[in-house]
Amino acid sequence: MAVTADRLVEAFLEMLAAERGSARNTRIAYEQDLGDFAAFTAQRGEGVGKADPAMVRDYMSSLQAVGLSARTAARRLSALRQFHRFLLREGVRTDDPTSLLDTPRLPVSLPKYLSESEVDALLDAARRLPGRTGVLAHAALEILYASGMRVSELLALPRTALSGDAVLLMIRGKGGKDRVVPLSDAAKDAAAALVAGAEPRGRWLFPGRDPRLAMTRQGFFKLLKRVALDAGLDPDRVSPHVLRHSFASHMLARGADLRTLQVLLGHADIATTQIYTHVLAERLQRLIEAHHPLAMQAGPSSRDEMC
């Protein structure tokens, strides 16, 4: 069966949508990464579905040569692995040229998050915005911080998501997987105020300028930057994902465990949740200093002598 390179990529993207329920932005990212690889193989007179291990290695080396970060290179390799496993499964190939490649070593980076007082400042600033904009901004930030959800999950919420006296919110997450998260009273009240003033025929909890459509990610980012400025925070430090990190970090700091946090965040693998262990380490240090017998008995000077 002769299949063009473009058709192979298209079939892979269709599989992501149909079988995995991948979001549009995820499919666009895969399409761009595979398009870059296809251009590389075309320059060498080969189709994207026929590259051998040596060509894949050369491609990965080329990414380093042009100065792409290890994180970007790792994402490109992940896309290639998923693509070639798909070709293997579909019988287009009999081997996987990516199977022996090592993932680029990523630098260890701690998640960026805001302090509790900074989150309070954001919520106050959103509440002060005039009119409908303030009601929408306040509800969005209350729900994001109360649930730790992704911005794509927030903007996909239907208007009926918080109807009645519901204390739990059903979220459709990555890969079409549903999860349930509890909401604070403040988040429920803010959402109720938003719904009360909404267009009666509107479908979305967070509508865009056209109430028939959901608010776009770009529109929400602009609104969040405005709120950050009004709160006296550097807008570059504030994003929906920083609020997600703040939710997770503050929950751990106040006693939540990693397994619970994994469920709330919708992580398929607890290894993803373990990026927040820096908060656990800080909490353990405080517990030792507060409760360990030797720490309580020895003052700073005597501890220095013991060392």
- CATH code where residue 203 lies: 1.10.443.10
Of the residues 85, 172, 226, 241, which is catalytic? 241
The verdict on 136 and 223 lying in the same domain is: yes
What is the rounded CA–CA span in Å between residue 291 and residue 191?
42
Question: For this structure, is 244 an active site residue?
Answer: yes
Same domain, yes or no: 77 and 128: no
Same domain, 61 and 166: no
pLDDT at 297 over 70: no
> What are the structure tokens assigned to 250, written together?
């503050």
Q: Is the dihedral of CA 192, 193, 199, 205 positive or negative?
A: negative
pLDDT band at 118 (very low <50, low <70, confident <90, very high): very high
Other CB atoms within 10 A of residue 132 CB: 11
In a domain? residue 129:
yes
In a shared domain, residues 203 and 131 = yes
Q: Evaluate whether residue 248 is within a structural domain.
A: no
| Count of Cβ atoms closer than 10 Å to residue 188 Cβ | 19
Residues 77 and 120 in one domain: no
47 phi/psi in degrees, rounded to 5? -80, 155
262 located within any domain = no
Buried b (16+ CB within 10 A) or exposed e, 137-166: bbbbbbbbbbbbbbbbbbbbbebebbeeee
Same domain membership, residue 151 and residue 79: no
* pLDDT tens digits along 70-81: 889 999 999 999
Asked if residue 235 has pLDDT above 90, the reply is: yes
The answer to whether residue 138 is domain-embedded is: yes
Identify whether residues 72 and 145 lie together within a single domain. Answer: no
215 and 129 inside one domain: yes
Question: What's the mean per-residue pLDDT of the chain?
Answer: 85
User: Are both 10 and 76 inside the same structural domain?
Assistant: yes
Look at residue 193 and tell me if it is in a domain.
yes
Domain boundary among 206, 235, 264: 235
Q: Measure the N-to-C terminal CA separation of the chain; round to a whole number of Å.
A: 73
Q: Which domain holds residue 56?
A: 5-89
> Mind listing the pLDDT tens digit for each residue in 209-225?
888 889 999 999 999 99
Out of 20, 174, 225, 226, the active site residue is: 174
Whether 145 is catalytic is no
Structure letter (DSSP) for residue 157: -
Q: Give the residue from 70, 89, 108 where a domain finishes.
A: 89
Asked if 150 is an active-site residue, the reply is yes
127 is an active site residue = no
pLDDT digits (tens, 9 = 90+) for 46-76: 888 889 999 999 999 999 899 888 889 999 9
Q: Both 130 and 82 in a single domain?
A: no
pLDDT (tens digit per residue) in 157-201: 988 887 656 677 888 877 777 888 888 889 989 988 888 877 777
Rounded-to-integer distance, Cα 260 and Cα 243, Å = 18
85 noted as active-site residue: no
Is the model's pTM score more than 0.75?
Answer: no
Q: Which has the higher per-residue pLDDT, 277 or 82?
A: 82
User: Using an 8 Å Cβ cutoff, are 12 and 86 in contact?
Assistant: yes
Sign for the pseudo-dihedral over CA of 180, 185, 191, 197: positive
What pLDDT does residue 243 have? Answer: 94
Burial of 44 (0-12, 13-18, 19+ CB in 10 A): exposed
Q: Distance between CA atoms of 59 and 56, rounded to whole angstroms?
A: 5
CA proximity to 207, closest of 166, 241, 157, 267: 157
CB 304 within 8 A of CB 297: no
* 210 and 138 share one domain: yes
| 244 lies in some domain | no
* 241 carries an active-site annotation: yes
pLDDT at 124: 96
Write down the pLDDT at residue 109: 66
Looking at 150, 159, 188, 250, which residue is catalytic? Answer: 150
**Count of the separate structural domains present in the chain:** 2
Q: Is residue 268 part of a domain?
A: no
What is the pLDDT, as a whole number, of residue 23?
A: 81
Q: Which of 76, 159, 244, 245 is an active site residue?
A: 244
Q: What CATH number should be reported for the domain holding residue 65?
A: 1.10.150
CB-CB neighbours of 8 under 10 Å: 22
